[in-house]
Amino acid sequence: MDNVINFGGMTALITGASSGIGAASATAFGTRGARVLIHYNRQESEAQRILERVRGAGGQGELLRADLTTMDGVRSLVRALAGRRIDILVNNAGSLIQRTPVLNFTEELWEQVLTLNLTSAFFLAKAVLAGMVERKSGFVVNVSSVAARNGGGLGALAYASAKGALSTMTMGLAKEFAPFGIRVNAVSPGTIDTKYHRNFSNDQILNAVKAATPMARLGTAEEVADVILFLCSHEARFIQGQVIEVNGGFS
């Protein structure tokens, strides 16, 4: 995506922005004029590098830390947003945390996965939507997953369930807030060549995905970020409540 799309004067909050799709999105918004709020949890040095990259390209931004696997962490980030104008929210933070067979799941792990991948997205959207309603404008993009369509791999049931609910939530929010000039959509990445997939997969799994993908490769974080930017642009002005698959034809 070229630099014709400009987000000057807008503030974008990107959760999980220290690496992968979040980092690529934060960089892309920042280099196109937005002030970027870069959320992270543990990877402070990586988040700082993204902030420096944004500033190096002439953009502005700041870091916000919160652990979105807990409601205390969600509430702390919501409090940090009080009084701020948020024009764009990208709910990207997510992880299966650890591959776990169903019979080994604990209540604690289930709650962590759902809080991170679903509940945090709802309450962050709720926190910024009030201001968007007042201004009659705003964008929310949720980052779902191909796992929402196929149930995910072994040990990823909670993650897949949360992402399925996130896709459904996207459609519900879109219906409710469309009359206020707010557009809510989602992207659904397939297997993207990021540290996330290298942590939770192995070469055998990734090679099998490549073989099952018509484009015969994994996606890149930048390719997903391009779709997120498009959904927040004037060019996507009649796209509402959609879950855009970005998977090279895998599904």
- Which CATH number applies to 11-246: 3.40.50.720, 3.30.360.10, 3.90.1150.170, 2.40.160.40? 3.40.50.720
Among 7, 40, 139, 159, the one annotated catalytic = 159
More confidently predicted of 216 and 135: 135
Per residue in 101-148, pLDDT tens?
999 999 999 999 999 999 999 999 999 999 999 999 999 999 999 999
Rg of the chain over all Cα atoms, to the nearest angstrom: 17
Helix (H, G, I), strand (E, B) or coil at 132: helix
Percent of the chain with pLDDT over 70: 96
Per the annotation, the verdict on 159 as an active-site residue is yes
Site of tokens 């540290």: 195
| Mean pLDDT across 53-69 | 95
The confidence score (pLDDT) of residue 214 equals 79
The confidence score (pLDDT) of residue 217 equals 77
Which residues are within 8 A (CB) of 101 and not within 5 positions of it... i.e. 6 or more apart? 154, 155
Q: How far apart are CA 171 and CA 139, in angstroms?
A: 13
Per residue in 185-214, pLDDT tens?
999 998 878 776 666 677 777 777 777 777
Range list of H helices, the chain:
20-31, 44-56, 71-80, 107-114, 120-135, 147-150, 157-177, 195-200, 203-212, 221-231
